[in-house]
Structure 1
Amino acid sequence: MAPGALLDLLWLASPALPVGGFSYSEALEAAVDTGLVTNEEQARAWLLDQLHLSLSRADLAVVATAHAAWQAGDESRIRELNDWVLLTRESSELRQQAEQMGRSMLEWLRNQADAASDPRLAQLAALKPPTWPVAWALGAARGGAALEPTLVAHAFGWAENLVQAALKAVPLGQSAGQRILAALSRDIPAAVAHAMSLDDARRQAFTPMLAILSARHETQYSRLFRS
């Protein structure tokens, strides 16, 4: 990979990207509150399950398809994918996260030096609202990154944010967080390969326990995170 494309991917995957990813736990905080996640082992198992059962089958698969659609200039395909994300978010908080981070990603892309010359940004803005995986895929496509490293970067960025959420919510120490991140990193290639193999008929967003916990989080008494 060209150094410029690699740097663009690292930038997009960074928790420092100003899109608000650090403020969400994706129902992990609710799992902690209900006693399902109370230690390092349970946090690792929870996030590994979420990687394979949720991220790989839904968002990573969307990023993969949207990446190709942005490169091909297939605007109707982009709209279909964005609608699918909105329709399959299983709770109010998860949908709000997808919308807020999508809008923030759009604003970040608009601030790039070559934004005025890229008509795809207007297409993204026209989605109203753009969703996170679709907007993120445009960021990767603009940098010229190949598909597989694009998905690896997206998954690792997700892993870093969720591990940081676990450190605060469980809570855990930094060494425990690094061990969990190492476990997620070992499984990311398999999750990416699975996402790349999915067509529209096999892509899915069905995680009942995650949805239930996310809905409970909306009325949780004490919260650090927005989801």
Structure 2
Amino acid sequence: MSIGDRSQVLSLLQLVSPALPVGAYSYSEGLETLVESKTIINNHTLQHWLEQELSYGAIRLEAAIMVRAYQTTLENDIAALSYWNTWLSAARETSELRASSWQMGQSLMRLLFAIKPQQAQSFCIEGECNYAIALGIFASLEQINLQSLILGYLHSWATNLITAGVKLIPLGQTAGQILLHELHANISDAATEIMSLEDDELSSCSWGLSLASMAHETQYTRLFRS
């Protein structure tokens, strides 16, 4: 492996690490509501939920928009980048989901400006920046392999929600890691499909997530922000 390849791998590991200071750990994406309502009660029901989200849900759509942010950054097409950012904001079903995407996106953009101030200056977006957009920009500037980026993004998403499930259900740490390992095939299949999606195929079926997110706003006790 060349020095350049090593640098790309290290950059990817940093961007998808749970230690990345964007606040992903503070969101459950409705999982807290689903556990309280007994929709998710153990590792099997959590696995089913995550598998369905990877196949049909919002994370699939977000990853596809991240791909477009990556490509438009390579092409230095700021107008297209802003378009997809606005498109993704409009596609968020609840104010909480939108706010979490914006908060994480702005946090990641601040990190990008701290690490690559000159390059980042060329990709300022008016208004709030979604997390998937910021990640696409950052990864493109770091020259991370696109397929590896999608895998890393989906794996990071699954890791965050399984970690939330370990706390909420609760599950043991070993059970959580077994579940993450069992999702590898689903993550790989989803990444392959996402790479080939055309613009007119961008859609998701995540009404369950939407309802859980809306209910979370008025939940009596909450550990997570969303």
TM bracket, shorter-chain basis: over 0.9
The yes-or-no answer on 1:53 pairing with 2:49 is no
| TM-superposed deviation, 1:55 | 4.4
The yes-or-no answer on 1:95 pairing with 2:94 is no
Distance 1:94 1:124, change over 3 A: farther
SS at match of 1:6: helix
Match of 2:70 in 1: 67
1:66-122 CA-partner distances (Å, limit 9, x unpaired): 11111111111101110111001001110011100010001111111xx2321xx23
* Identical positions, percent: 34
Q: Does the Cα contact within 8 Å between 2:113 and 2:121 map onto a contact in 1?
A: no
| TM-superposed deviation, 1:124 | 4.1
Match of 1:116 in 2: 117
Q: Does the Cα contact within 8 Å between 2:31 and 2:165 map onto a contact in 1?
A: yes
AA of the residue aligned to 1:116? P
Q: Does the Cα contact within 8 Å between 2:53 and 2:60 map onto a contact in 1?
A: no
| TM-superposed deviation, 1:145 | 1.2
User: How far apart, in 1, do the equivalents of 2:91 and 2:16 lie?
Assistant: 24
1:132-172 CA-partner distances (Å, limit 9, x unpaired): 00001111111111211111111111111111011111111
User: How far apart, in 1, do the equivalents of 2:144 and 2:72 lie?
Assistant: 14
Runs of 4+ displaced beyond 6 Å: none
Match of 1:143 in 2: 142
Alignment of 1:125-164 (within 5 A): 125-164=124-163
Q: Does the Cα contact within 8 Å between 1:105 and 1:136 map onto a contact in 2?
A: yes
RMSD after superposition: 1.3
Q: Does the Cα contact within 8 Å between 1:88 and 1:205 map onto a contact in 2?
A: no
1:166-194 CA-partner distances (Å, limit 9, x unpaired): 11111110011011101222211100011
Match of 1:11 in 2: 14
AA of the residue aligned to 1:215? M
Q: Normalised by the size of structure 2, how large is the TM-score?
A: 0.95
Q: How many residues align?
A: 223
The yes-or-no answer on 1:43 pairing with 2:46 is yes
Q: Unpaired runs of 5+ in structure 2?
A: none
Q: Does the Cα contact within 8 Å between 2:12 and 2:149 map onto a contact in 1?
A: yes
SS at match of 1:86: helix
Q: Unpaired runs of 5+ in structure 1?
A: none
Q: Does the Cα contact within 8 Å between 2:58 and 2:206 map onto a contact in 1?
A: no
| TM-superposed deviation, 1:53 | 1.5
| TM-superposed deviation, 1:197 | 1.3
User: How far apart, in 1, do the equivalents of 2:102 and 2:145 lie?
Assistant: 25
Q: Does the Cα contact within 8 Å between 2:155 and 2:187 map onto a contact in 1?
A: yes
AA of the residue aligned to 1:68? Q
Distance 1:125 1:75, change over 3 A: closer
